[in-house]
Homo-oligomer: A and B are copies of this chain.
């Protein structure tokens, strides 16, 4: 193993370990001659500083953990990218962990991050109220909730999901739809529940134009396959009972749903309109460009890590903050047709 220590460098440069450490951390206080000699030794030995030892001594890591619900959802990739950009500027590393919406995996990741004494954790929790999170933060690891509003005393960055749901459903109602499917689940995930609640409220409010209803297609996961399955279920209904529009809790579902429509020969938006959520880049490129509720993805990530770093450096006088962004609706082909009653 070619891994050399500061001691060997010191020996070769004929100085003490303290001096080598100084060269590494405050080169300006070391005389130029010595400094050069030490650099020379470092080069010659191929010395690489052991961050682990440094961290042990200093007591503070340069790594933050980011735990997301689904790495392969481009929404989270974008959030991660936003966060990473900021982390980079503070030369901090990011560990990206995938909980796959499984509380057990989430717990394992949190355990590991805590054991590593990371600087802090950004997390889109499976369950924001989980005691594990409170515990983590109580024990001294700052936690920032991402895409999920904080219940307890912690920082969080979220987008108003109720509003998003409302926007989507109101739009569909306004386009003349009276029976609207909600595709999403599990409802234990806050985002899903909120989007559902928002949609539900919007549909109820439309009661003025009497009798609009939201039909739930609850599903167990949030991927393309689940969306397709829900689409199949909907397509199998007799036309009289079939919703004329679907609001999907995210774009992956919407994409899958759209595939099912085309497989079953239903036209979008004429037979069934679709609105997705997140406005990932692929939404606009879909077979039928998808209407979607847009969220500021990178900004979400950026803001989250900024809050975290702020919390770390502020120490005691840190005041937790809950940042909430507003989503907006992007209308595309998939919901453009106007429904003239049923």
Residues on A facing B (Cβ under 8 Å):
1-3, 46, 48-53, 55-56, 61, 63, 71-72, 74, 77-78, 80-81, 84, 88, 91, 93-98, 105, 108-109, 111-112, 114-117, 135, 138-140, 224, 255-256, 258-259, 281-282, 284-289
Minimum CB–CB distance from A283 to chain B (whole Å) comes to 10
User: Whole-angstrom distance between the alpha carbons of A259 and B284 in the complex?
Assistant: 9
Minimum CB–CB distance from A145 to chain B (whole Å) comes to 20
Chain B residue with Cβ nearest A259: B285
Is B48 within 8 A of A116, CB to CB? no
Given contacts A258-B285, A282-B282, is CB(A140)–CB(B3) below 8 Å? yes
User: Which residue, of A74, A96, A97, A98, has the highest number of chain B Cβ atoms within 10 A?
Assistant: A96
* Cβ–Cβ < 8 Å partners of A94 in chain B: 95-97
Minimum CB–CB distance from A60 to chain B (whole Å) comes to 10
* Cβ–Cβ < 8 Å partners of A282 in chain B: 255, 282, 285
**Residue in B63, B140, B255, B284 whose CB lies within 8 Å of A285:** B255
How many subunits of this chain does the assembly comprise?
A: 2
Please list 18 pairs of residues, one from A and one from B, whose beta carbons are closer than 8 Å in the complex, sorted by A's number. Answer: A3-B117, A46-B135, A48-B139, A51-B117, A52-B55, A52-B56, A71-B84, A72-B74, A91-B112, A93-B109, A93-B112, A94-B97, A95-B95, A255-B282, A256-B285, A259-B284, A259-B285, A282-B285
User: Whole-angstrom distance between the alpha carbons of A156 and B71 in the complex?
Assistant: 24
A3-B140, A93-B95 given; 4 more Cβ-contact pairs under 8 Å? A3-B117, A48-B139, A52-B116, A77-B77
Chain B residue with Cβ nearest A111: B48
Is B77 within 8 A of A115, CB to CB? no
Minimum CB–CB distance from A263 to chain B (whole Å) comes to 11
Is B72 within 8 A of A61, CB to CB? no
**Residue in B1, B96, B112, B138 whose CB lies within 8 Å of A96:** B96
Closest 8 CB pairs of A and B: A51-B115, A96-B96, A72-B77, A1-B140, A2-B139, A282-B282, A255-B285, A95-B95
Is B138 within 8 A of A2, CB to CB? yes
Is A115 within 8 A of B286, CB to CB? no
User: Whole-angstrom distance between the alpha carbons of A21 and B77 in the complex?
Assistant: 39
Minimum CB–CB distance from A49 to chain B (whole Å) comes to 5
* Cβ–Cβ < 8 Å partners of A256 in chain B: 285
User: Whole-angstrom distance between the alpha carbons of A288 and B286 in the complex?
Assistant: 8
Given contacts A98-B81, A140-B2, is CB(A48)–CB(B114) below 8 Å? yes
Minimum CB–CB distance from A93 to chain B (whole Å) comes to 6
